[in-house]
Amino acid sequence: MAEDITLYGTLWCSDCKRAKKFFAEQRVPYTFVDVERDAEGLRFVEQVNGGKHIIPTIVFGDGSTLVEPSNAELAAKLGLQTTGTRRFYDLIVVGSGPAGLTAALYAAREGIETLVIERAGVGGQAGITERLDNFPGFPEGIAGSEFAERLRQQAERFGVEILSAKEAVGVGVEGSYRSVRTADGEQYRAWAVLLALGSTYRRLGIPGEEDFIGAGVHFCATCDGPFYRGKEVLVIGGGNSAGEEGIFLTKFCPKVTIATRGPDLSASRVVVEKVRSNPRIEVLTGVVPAAFKGSGRLEAVVLMPAGGGEPIELRPAGVFAFIGLSPNTEVVEGFVELDERGFIVTDGVLQTSVPGVFAAGDARGGSTKQAASAAGEGAAAALAIRRYVEPLAGGMPVVRSATTE
Ligand SMILES: Cc1cc2nc3c(=O)[nH]c(=O)nc-3n(C[C@H](O)[C@H](O)[C@H](O)COP(=O)(O)OP(=O)(O)OC[C@H]3O[C@@H](n4cnc5c(N)ncnc54)[C@H](O)[C@@H]3O)c2cc1C
């Protein structure tokens, strides 16, 4: 890995936001220099680019520089594997959260040649969680990033190939094979596919949100909270995520306001008690976010009282929105059956409406949205997949009897 990364850019430049998002997803630390506020940084950018202001300009620990790099160039620079060593595997797992990686390591351990395709960083939501306190076997809890790294190592020990920064954009059926197409135009085939797509933070959908994402509006306290050291922030939401992330933010911020539309927080009793007893947190109930305002960077948040009345304007340094999760199932819309909320419908052995295509974890209808249950579903799916694949491949280990191209 290229350590000590410095990203020279501005708060409004979209390629800078993309590069920052990429580093955050890969959990790679970097220093951001806003060249609109840092004259020396601006001079450096001009010097690197022959007098021109081209951003982002990114300098790596080995002294090398990338100017306006694509995500593929960034992935290559970080030494990430983005292409499979073959085009045919026994099993392709889409998604590398606890469900996907558990299924992969179970399958690979039984001789099923497994490819994992991950569009962001390895570990899924668990990887960006500050701390997992309730995963069995870790009595002191475990940092999400460490948990993800352990899962990755365990899967790789059994020979799983993991591609990251690689998005699956289509899943299909080709006779006995199932195929997965990726955004960069590659296609991989296997006897079976496991959809371990997880879910994503829901957006607020209010004016200004898109403009200020990464410039005052955030969805991941672990990734962006440290940028607000010593500053006041607003958390939007009333559930467990809002409560836990609000508590986490008090590590950096002297004051955290949690704004929720309901008459009280809807988080679990344990989380509510922790929030209420934290002197750095204030809870504002019965308010609905209406707009983000600012120029270039977030300056104010407009909240409307849920019962009507005058708008309230707050001026936090940053806003963190935690208002629920949507399943990442766009890639299989119209291919497998989804329920009315977009979650994947499965049968008793976690098979979807398409034979040979299985689903596990948070993206599955009826799942419990917990890391341990996602891992459990991954294990159960791997066993069902083994039973499905074995007769097709004529016994284990299976990939050696399959077509390679
Ligand atoms: C803030 C927060 C705190 C949490 N705290 C806890 C906790 O304390 N205890 C607990 O048990 N659970 C906790 N959870 C929930 C837990 O993290 C999830 O239940 C678990 O990660 C779900 O696992 P999963 O494998 O189903 O999906 P995910 O972890 O969401 O992983 C899915 C992966 O699929 C990838 N993906 C999606 N679409 C594509 C595509 N088209 N192509 C390629 N890759 C794709 C995603 O990038 C993602 O990495 C927390 C979650 C959050 C957000």
Per-residue pLDDT for the chain (405 aa), expressed as one digit of tens each? 446 999 999 988 989 989 998 998 888 889 999 999 999 999 999 999 999 999 999 999 999 999 999 888 999 999 999 999 999 999 999 999 999 999 999 999 999 999 999 999 899 988 877 778 889 999 999 988 899 999 999 999 999 999 999 999 999 999 999 999 999 999 999 999 999 999 987 889 999 998 888 789 988 887 678 889 999 999 999 998 899 999 999 999 999 999 999 999 999 999 999 999 999 999 999 999 999 999 888 999 999 999 999 999 999 999 999 998 889 999 999 999 999 989 999 999 999 999 999 999 999 999 988 899 999 999 999 999 999 999 987 765 554 444 443
Residue nearest to atom 20 of ligand 1 (CA): 371
Report CA(325)–ligand 1 centroid distance (Å): 10
Alpha helices of 158-239 — where are they, by DSSP H?
Answer: 209-212, 221-224
Active site residues: 220, 223-224
Residue 405 has a pLDDT of 37
Query: In degrees, to the nearest 5, what angle opens at C-alpha 208 toward C-alphas 205 and 211?
Result: 105
**Is residue 361 in contact with ligand 1, taking CB distance under 6 Å?**
yes
**Nearest residue CA, atom 33 of ligand 1?**
95
Which atom of ligand 1 lies closest to the CA of 330?
Answer: 41
Using alpha carbons, list the distances in angstroms from residue 54 to 7, 61, 67, 233.
12, 20, 7, 31
Would the CB of 327 count as within 6 Å of ligand 1?
no
Name the residue of 94, 129, 241, 326 to mutate for ligand 1: max ligand atoms within 8 A of Cβ: 129
What per-residue confidence (pLDDT) applies to 397?
53
Tell me, using a 6 A CB cutoff, whether residue 253 lines ligand 1: no
User: Would the CB of 330 count as within 6 Å of ligand 1?
Assistant: no
CA-wise closest residue to 321 among 375, 396, 249, 255: 249
Task: Please give the distance, rounded to the nearest whole angstrom, from the Cα atom of residue 100 to the centre of ligand 1.
Answer: 10
- For the question of whether the overall pTM of this predicted structure is more than 0.95, the answer is no
Cα of 405 vs centre of ligand 1, distance in Å, is 33
Q: 26 CB under 6 A from ligand 1? A: no
In the block, tokens 């329920």 appear at 339
DSSP secondary-structure letter at 404? -
For the chain, the maximum distance between any two Cα atoms, rounded to a whole number of angstroms, is 70
- Whole-angstrom CA distances from 74 to 5, 96, 162 are 11, 20, 17
- The pLDDT value given to residue 404: 40
Q: How far apart are the first and last CA of the chain?
A: 31
Q: How high is the pLDDT of residue 3?
A: 63
Pocket test for ligand 1, best of 197, 218, 357, 369 (most atoms within 8 A of CB): 197
| CA atoms of 350 and 378, how far apart (whole Å) | 9
Please tell me the total number of residues recorded for the chain in this structure.
405
Q: Tokens 């520089």 appear where?
A: 65
Per-residue confidence (pLDDT) for residue 220, from 0 to 100: 80
Question: Is ligand 1 within 6 A of the CB of residue 114?
Answer: no
Give the phi and the psi of residue 99 in degrees, each rounded to 5.
Answer: -65, -50
Asked whether 129 lines ligand 1 (CB < 6 A), one says yes
Is the minimum distance from the CB of 127 to ligand 1 under 6 angstroms?
no
CB 126 less than 6 A from any atom of ligand 1? yes
122 CB under 6 A from ligand 1? no
Question: Which tokens go with 251?
Answer: 């590590």
Ligand 1 pocket test, pick from 125, 167, 223 with the greatest ligand atom count within 8 Å of Cβ, gives 125
126 alpha carbon to ligand 1 midpoint, in Å? 5
How far is ligand 1, taken at its centre, from the CA of residue 200, in Å? Answer: 8
